[in-house]
Amino acid sequence: MTPLVIPIFIAHQGCPHRCIFCDQFTISGSAGSGGLSPSRLEVSRIIELWLDRPGRQRKSGVQVAFYGGSFTGLHRRRQEELLDAVQPYIREGRVDSVRISTRPDYIDPAVLSLLREYSVNIVELGIQSLDQEVLELSRRGHTAQQAEEAISLLRQKGFTVGAQVMCGLPGDTTAKAMQTAEKVAALTPDFVRIYPALVLRESGLESMFRRGTYRPLSLFRAVALCSRMKIVFDRHRIRVVRMGLQPSRELEEKVVAGPYHPAFGELVLSRHLFKQARKVLRRREPEQKLRLGIAAADESAFRGRNNGSMKKLAGLGLLNGVELVFDRKQQRGQLQTVTLSS
């Protein structure tokens, strides 16, 4: 079971940067979050509201997550104020973990001591790319080496580490995005999020896009690339917890161009399952009968939009003699094959 996550947005706070793709307010939204700059009282109020919601007993644990902005770039007093608001709930055992997100260059041993003191145990880093040229063209303001060192330091100090990576930024290529995935995976974060770059209104990318100096990935290419990146993380047994930005009305109003789809992750999963199935089924001996196990939660992704993947597999003659089993116990994103006879 997943924990109940109590989101508290501190959009763009603590961040003097303006990365070319960023419109932090749009990305994080602020509905029900206490606005852009929640006070200590507002943080408590948000936590109380979520803890009182029906159905929370069914979740495993409670996590307070400070989303958006660069938490450790905030003034130390402000960090303490926000974290202090969570402490009574931790002491009472009503909140189990605290998560923050930040930039790699805002991580050092002193910062991590403060986080530890306030029971922060999960840190998500915006890595985006480990290619120096892509970082520079995206005006990230930190180096690839800083990003690698930040992940290593967090791992050394025993934090749970999340890494956010992007593909399709200025200067990015398929090869560079795949190298980033390989390098990030080698640093063994606990989980990753993969986002294709979108052109958001009032972002630097919008000006480049309108001048014709930036072309975003098509939806097809973004799905294909994210699927390949996911395979790298799967191979290293690193959980991919999200692909594509969380859909929202605010985000949809801000997207000028780029591979936005409200069910982007589902499209990637669908392609991923289709390719796996095609590979397995092409390899079997002629006349061999097979049972293909698919997680029940993946059934619609496996079938594809309008049953498209099933039609393609059938069109290739690959479904003859195949029994499909949608299994509630099976792990998502993977297929299991059992030979029935030949």
Site residues (CB under 6 A) for ligand SF4?
12, 15, 17-19, 22, 24, 69-70, 103, 126
Q: Is residue 264 within 8 Å of 305, Cβ to Cβ?
A: no
Both ends of the chain: CA-CA distance in Å? Answer: 39
Q: Which is nearer to ligand SF4, 149 or 266 (CB)?
A: 149
Taking the least distance from each CB to ligand SF4, the nearer of 19 and 335 is 19
C-beta closer to ligand SF4: residue 19 or 281: 19
* Min CB(226)–ligand SF4 separation in Å: 19
**Is the Cβ of residue 67 or residue 233 nearer to ligand SF4 in the bound state?**
67
CA distance 224 to 286: 29
CB closer to ligand SF4 out of 147 and 281: 147
DSSP reduced 3-state for 81: helix
Least separation, in Å, of the C-beta of 21 and ligand SF4? 7
DSSP string, 164-205: EEEES-TT--HHHHHHHHHHHHHT--SEEEEEE--EETTSHH
**Residue 320 DSSP symbol:** T
Residue placing its CB nearer to ligand SF4 in the complex, 209 or 302: 209
What phi, psi does 67 have (nearest 5°)? Answer: -100, 155
CA distance 205 to 214: 7
- What is the chain's percent helix, strand, coil content, to nearest 5? 45, 20, 35
- Start-end of H helices in the chain: 24-28, 40-51, 76-91, 109-117, 132-137, 144-156, 174-186, 204-211, 219-235, 249-254, 264-283, 299-303, 308-315
Question: Least distance to ligand SF4 from the beta carbon of 142, Å?
Answer: 9
Query: C-beta of 18: minimal distance to ligand SF4 in Å?
Result: 5
CB nearer to ligand SF4: give 22 or 277: 22
Q: Name the minimum Å distance from CB 22 to ligand SF4.
A: 3
DSSP letter (8 states) at residue 13: T
- Dist CA 168 CA 196 (whole Å): 6
DSSP state of 143: -
Q: How far is the CB of 70 from ligand SF4 (least distance, A)?
A: 5
CB of 186 to ligand SF4, least distance (A): 23
Nearest approach, Cβ of residue 304 and ligand SF4 (Å): 33
Beta carbon nearer to ligand SF4, 22 or 281: 22
136's CB contacts (< 8 A; 6+ apart) are 171
